Amino acid sequence: MKTLFLLLFLGITLTSKAQIMGGTLVDDGRKMSSTSNFTVTDSLYTGTVVMSLSVNRKGEVTSGKYITEGSTISSTPVRIKVRNYAMKLKFEESIYFPEFHYVTVKFTVKKP
């Protein structure tokens, strides 16, 4: 019974923030100010795309780089759609954060 509760607890904790994978932004405890389910539709493919994002002090995403490790889609048009979606994300703003923070994010791509 204890094992069941442990597995249930681990399952819930691991999936609650599974889309934001890590980076200096996460290490410093910076949170998202926009809501997102990290899902991109309007594609011919289904899978995942992992991106490394750069976030400035204003909380704006300034750049996005495709990461092959963990990605299951390599289509350039899909990567562009995901990058455009990622550029609209917003994070906490503060002058106390470094000039740029970095975060690795996993996006789910689905057919409409």
Q: Is the pLDDT of residue 4 over 60?
A: no
Supply the pTM of this predicted model.
0.78
- What single letter denotes the amino acid at residue 13? T
Alpha-carbon distance values, 8 to 5, 18, 19 (Å): 5, 15, 19
Per residue in 14-51, pLDDT (tens digit) is 333 459 899 999 898 889 898 888 899 877 889 999 99
* Confidence at residue 16, expressed as pLDDT on a 0 to 100 scale: 36
CATH architecture observed for domain 19-109? 2-Layer Sandwich (3.30)
Domain boundaries, given as residue ranges, for the chain: 19-109
Question: Residue 69: which of 101, 30, 22, 36 has the closest Cα?
Answer: 22
Nearest to 70 by CA among 56, 85, 87, 51: 51
Residue % of the chain over a pLDDT of 90: 56
Percent of the chain beyond pLDDT 70?
84
